[in-house]
Amino acid sequence: MKNNLKKLPKLLSVIILVAAVGLTIFGSSFKAGIKNSPVNNSQSDSASTEPASATEAVELPDAKVNIIAVGDDLLHLSLIESMAKDADGHYDFHQIFSEVKEDIKQADIAVINQETILGGEELGLSGYPCFNSPWSAGDALVDTGFDVVLGASNHALDKGKQGVLNTVNFWKTKHPEITLLGLNDSEEMQDKINIVEKNGIKFAMLNYTYGTNGIPMPKDTPYAVNMLDDKEKVLSDIKRAKESADVVIVFPHWGAEYTYSPNAYQDEWTEIFYDNGVDIIIGGHTHSIQPLEMYSKDGGRKMPVFYSLGNFVSGQKEWQTMLGSMAKLTVERKNGQIEITSASAVPVVTHYEIYWNRDPSLKTYKLCDYTEELASKHYLHMSKKQLEDLAKEVYGEYLEY
């Protein structure tokens, strides 16, 4: 009994030591579990007794993005053959944009509607009614400073499935930094919501056409061109876009050609876009300028709608089609809120003096930089005042000139 009592203090010491070691190991493991948990990773390094939902949200910094969008890059064969050729024998389109390049470069995001397919010379270059343009035309767009290229147009299937595939492949392989909208080489590409982020503001951009001049969609590539008549898909895209971006811009190819005001189809879709939360609409297709409207319903938010920007460059032969416009927008984040703080239309004019042959004069000018002397030399013998009067009539208070 005495021997057992003598052993008791030693036994108690061993038990206390084991317990202490166990508590130390348990405590270390508990702390490690908190440190590595997802909840802890979303918090700061300092301790806090508040739940994650109650912590103060991080306020995004103020930011500003300037956007320019231009109308139809309508490459008639007469226009293509007016270009010089480079050392490799490719048509060089840089001269067209030389007078507006500075404006394009200064924009944070610059968008152009590539009306004609860029199927490349292997498919045969062609003009109206079934267009096909060389890849060098795309190279010039990139060098000018465009970031986003719209492909969904009524001419998108002018060279069938191969024209679309060649165009998509050109942009993917030669200029992967460019965002191509409206044309697709797979279902995955069509389902992707394209986000362009600038200065911390995310823009979702969507592009659709009303039709393809009666040319049916290839049966084995029903995703080749984004179509407005697939209303369910359009609305689904808008919903997903709103979940992914701060601003949703839709670029519809719509309207009646050579008219100066929207038709019922445009009015219908404008209301649909507005009701589904689109922020900005920038349209094309008509080869004539149409108004800029600050669309609103029941005193609600205002949505800028550029119904059509007309032609940015073309080889057409009616003086009215020489007049196009650049959409200018400023989007800002102020105190955490996104605002469209300005929207205006800057008129532009396509100038050419020779038809079907090499013409070094073929360029696009801002109308404010165009002169009566140049107008008198134009192949169509128009006047600057004609262009000014039409621009004022269509754009009114939103004309930037």
**For the chain, domain boundaries:** 2-54, 63-398
Q: Please tell me the predicted confidence (pLDDT) of residue 284.
A: 98
For 66, 108, 203, 299, the CA distances from 199, given in Å and listed in that order, are 10, 9, 11, 31
Q: Residue 291, preceding bond cis, omega within 30 degrees?
A: no
Give the burial string for 2-25 (b: 16+ CB within 10 Å, else e). eeeeeeeeeeeeeeeeeeeeeeee
Between CA 116 and CA 134 the distance in angstroms is 10
292-338 confidence digits (pLDDT tens): 999 999 999 999 999 999 999 999 999 999 999 999 999 999 999 99
Instruction: List the CATH code of the domain at 63-398.
Output: 3.60.21.10
Q: Is the pLDDT of residue 228 over 70?
A: yes
Per residue in 105-161, pLDDT (tens digit) is 999 999 999 999 999 999 999 999 999 999 999 999 999 999 999 999 999 999 999
Provide the whole-model pTM.
0.86
